[in-house]
A and B are shown apart, each in its own frame.
Chain A
Amino acid sequence: MADALLQVDNLGKRFGGFVALDGINLSVQPGERVGLIGPNGSGKSTLVNCMCGTLQNESGTVRFDGHEMNGLAAHERTHRGMARSFQLPRPFVTLTVAENLRIPLLYTAHTRSGRHLSQQESADRCEELAGLVGLSAKANKLPRDLTQVEMRKLELARAMAADPKLLIADEAMAGLSQSEVTDIVELLIKLNERGITIILIEHIMRAVMSFSQRLVVLVSGKKIADGPPQEVVSHPEVIGAYLGQ
């Protein structure tokens, strides 16, 4: 599939003697909504880290938007249109919420569009993003004044601020209430409708099932299933991995 947005081939990563990822193949088409699930320690976050350049993979290749990504630093991958949120929120603690959102605008959005945003444009965009995730009222607060849930929203908004082609949301909904999960899923679907490809890593099955068009399952660093969500969750190997045999 030459026109895939993201093409991961035979990706491998070890930590010392521990094989974290073992020959992962994954291809994501433009505009797709992919769910990535797997038990704790199965290598989901490592896969994200390798795709985004936070970690460098030892074997295999990552191609994004027709470009080879191996060896590129994380910020270069972000500039090409890959954005991620972190599983544990990593806000810039000395900057306000609005300033947090402004960083990707300053460093990525302008590189992508080829020109600097004006003061007004970036202020407007910050406000829009904060409004999108319901943080408008706290735009001038420091991250330490936010609740855990709000920090997750900030994390997601900051990834969106980079104006990505591919958004990788690493457990953006952990700890959120039912209605908040619904809100975030709706938000992600809305983003997807605007043309952003999304990979969602999540433990909340209700969210994953309602969001994903395709489900990928990782277990112990190997991909064991890839297909339509309903089929995948009834796959005997997947059930075995989650419930034990």
Chain B
Amino acid sequence: MRALLFYIGCIIVGGLFFAFAQWLGNDYLFFAGYTVLQFVVLATAWNILGGYCGYVNFGSAAFFALGAYSSVALHKLGANVDRYFPDWLSGLAHTIMPLNIPTLIVIGGIVSGLVGLGTGYLTLRLRGAFFAIATLALAVVLQTLIVNWDFVGGSRGAYIIRPAEVPILGNYIQYLFLVMLVLSVVAIAIARIIEQSRLGYGFATIRDDEIAAEACGVPTLRLKLIATTISGALMGMAGAPFPYYIGYLEPSSAFGLAYAVNSIAMPMIGGTTSWVGPLVGALLLGTLQQVATVTISSAVNLLIVGLLLIGFVIVAPRGIVGLVQEFMRERASDQGQPTWRSRLATFANMRPGAR
């Protein structure tokens, strides 16, 4: 029942937002909204590994870029079917290519998910700072590979000519926005399902104490691999439509610091214990950055993130969600009937019994 309400709520909020933006009739709103939603997906994906399992990933940009570059590679293949495919395949290739965005998202997700699985397998014995450094190294290695891969443009970058129109909607940026909106809902739904399942409890034990988790029968290695795979796949999915959004993709922008920093800062500021945290953090920080880009300068972006992160680490280490929870819990009466305050306090961190 609760789950059904949640999904209906998601659809209504998403639909209202889309309708509102369309009513305003300003394409820039979609353009900026896309970036915010992209960070919702990235932050949610990061939180599955970083927040639930406690493994800090500094390589978010690598997974994001991998999704973006798999789209670039497929776009190039699709644009030059006769050159890259043997004769017997070209007929088939002509019919399925160029691939549409949802397919590219799935492929980007698979590629990044596999790399996530591999990363998890190679780094599973590392904890804390060592794991973080390993993920950072992964980003550097991948960036070097992409820079030297001529097919996707190397360090020159690649231009992606996006179709002028799409069926039904017509407007391409609205289409991309809608795709990202759906993806955000999917990412949040996945995070929420994990949180309330047996898997989520398993992840929490990994975060708290791996040795004790093993002693309780939790297969920590398998769970960590699941987490790195899901987290990596979602980041890749966020990256897959990016070349079509930006029009020109080069390694230093796809592997940019902003992605790595934002996908860590947003869940930290929002709160890492539940799916609400990354959502709140990404909406808040993402919007703030967009506003700052337009009103002040685009260089202020990361400064804002940095300052906010420092502020939150000092004042509210458990993020906005933690702050709300504590405030509400203080006001709510300890005994007796649950009030709306206590309900709100548990809402953010609800765990209605996994099976």
Stretch from B110-118, B197-205, B303-311 contacting the other chain: B197-205
- Whether B354 is near chain A, meaning CB under 8 Å from some CB there, is yes
Contact of A158 with B by CB under 8 A: yes
Which B residues are CB-close (under 8 A) to A53? 214
Question: Per-residue CB proximity of B73-90 to A under 8 Å, as 1/0?
Answer: 000000000000000000
- A102 lies within 8 A of chain B by Cβ: yes
Q: Are A79 and B212 in contact (CB under 8 A)?
A: no
Q: How near does chain A come to B352, taking the closest CB pair, in angstroms? A: 9
| Min C-beta distance of B276 to chain A, whole Å | 16
A102: which B residues are within 8 A, CB to CB?
Answer: 201, 354
Please determine whether A73 and B214 come into contact, CB atoms closer than 8 angstroms.
yes
Known: A92-B204, A106-B201. A79 touches B217 (CB 8 A): yes
Contact A99 B214 (CB under 8 A): no
Cβ contacts under 8 Å, B211 to chain A: 54, 74, 86, 90
- Chain B residues with CB below 8 A from A108, complex form: 216-217
Looking at B62-70, B218-226, B229-237, B292-300, the stretch in contact with chain A turns out to be B218-226
Most buried by B among A76, A103, A104: A103
Which residues in chain B, 248-275, are within 8 Å of chain A measured between CB atoms? 273
Kindly provide the distance from the CB of B325 to the nearest chain A CB, expressed in whole angstroms.
12
Q: When the two chains form their complex, are residues A119 and B208 in contact, meaning their CB atoms are under 8 A apart?
A: no
Provided the pairs A90-B209, A162-B216 are in contact, do residues A107 and B198 lie with their beta carbons within 8 angstroms?
yes
> Within the assembled complex, what's the spacing in Å between the Cα atoms of A83 and B211?
13
**Are the CB atoms of A99 and B208 closer together than 8 Å?**
no
List residues of chain A with CB within 8 A of the CB of B351.
99
- When chains A and B are docked, how far (Å) is the Cα of A6 from the Cα of B274? 42
Cα-based distance from A117 to B354 in the complex (angstroms)? 10
What string of 1s and 0s marks CB contacts (under 8 Å) between B171-213 and chain A? Answer: 0000000000000000000000000001001101101110111
Q: Is B128 engaged at the interface, CB distance under 8 Å to the other chain?
A: no
Please tell me if B355 contacts chain A, counting CB pairs below 8 Å.
yes
A residues within 8 A CB of B202?
103, 106-107
Contact A78 B207 (CB under 8 A): no
Number of A residues, CB within 8 Å of B: 36
Q: Which of A96-140 contact B (CB under 8 A)?
A: 99, 102-104, 106-108, 111, 116-119, 122-123
Complex interface: chain A residues within 8 A of B212 (CB): 86, 90-92
A219 sits at the interface (CB 8 A):
no
Report how far A159 CA is from B212 CA in the complex, Å. 10
B355 and A116 contacting across the interface, CB-CB below 8 Å: yes
For residue A52, CB closer than 8 A to chain B, the reply is yes
- Within the complex, the shortest CB–CB distance from B315 to chain A, in Å, comes to 20
When the two chains form their complex, are residues B216 and A78 in contact, meaning their CB atoms are under 8 A apart? yes
B-chain residues with CB within 8 Å of residue A94 when the two chains form the complex: 204, 207-208, 273
A107 and B354 CA atoms in complex are apart in Å by 11
Interface assignment of A93: CB less than 8 Å from any CB of chain B: yes
Chain B residues in 8 Å Cβ range of A93: 208-209
Q: Which of B314-355 contact A (CB under 8 A)?
A: 351, 353-355
Contact B209 A92 (CB under 8 A): yes
**Interface positions of A from 14 to 54, Cβ below 8 Å from B:** 52-54
Is B215 engaged at the interface, CB distance under 8 Å to the other chain? yes
Nearest Cβ distance between residue A98 and chain B, in whole angstroms?
10
A125 CB to closest chain B CB (Å) equals 12
Residues of chain B contacted by A103 (CB below 8 angstroms): 201-202, 205, 213, 216-218
**C-alpha gap A73/B221 in the complex (Å):** 10
A63 touches B (CB below 8 Å)? no
Q: Which A residues are CB-close (under 8 A) to B220?
A: 75
Any chain B CB within 8 A of the CB of A176? no
A79 CA / B90 CA spacing, docked (Å) = 53
Contacts of B214 in A (CB 8 A): 53-54, 73-75, 78
**C-alpha spacing A91/B198, complex, angstroms:** 18
Residue A95 CB within 8 A of the other chain: yes
Is A153 close to B, CB under 8 A? no
Find chain A residues with CB under 8 A from B355 CB: 106, 116-119, 122
Q: How far, in whole Å, are A116 and B201 apart by their CA atoms in the complex? A: 15
Chain B residue with Cβ nearest A168? B215
- Can you offer 6 A-B residue contacts whose CB atoms are under 8 A? A73-B219, A78-B215, A90-B212, A91-B212, A103-B205, A103-B216
Interface pairs A-B: 6 shortest CB-CB: A108-B217, A74-B214, A90-B212, A78-B217, A92-B208, A107-B217
Other A-B pairs beyond A54-B214, A74-B214, A76-B219, 9, CB < 8 Å: A84-B215, A86-B211, A92-B204, A95-B204, A102-B201, A103-B205, A103-B217, A106-B355, A116-B355
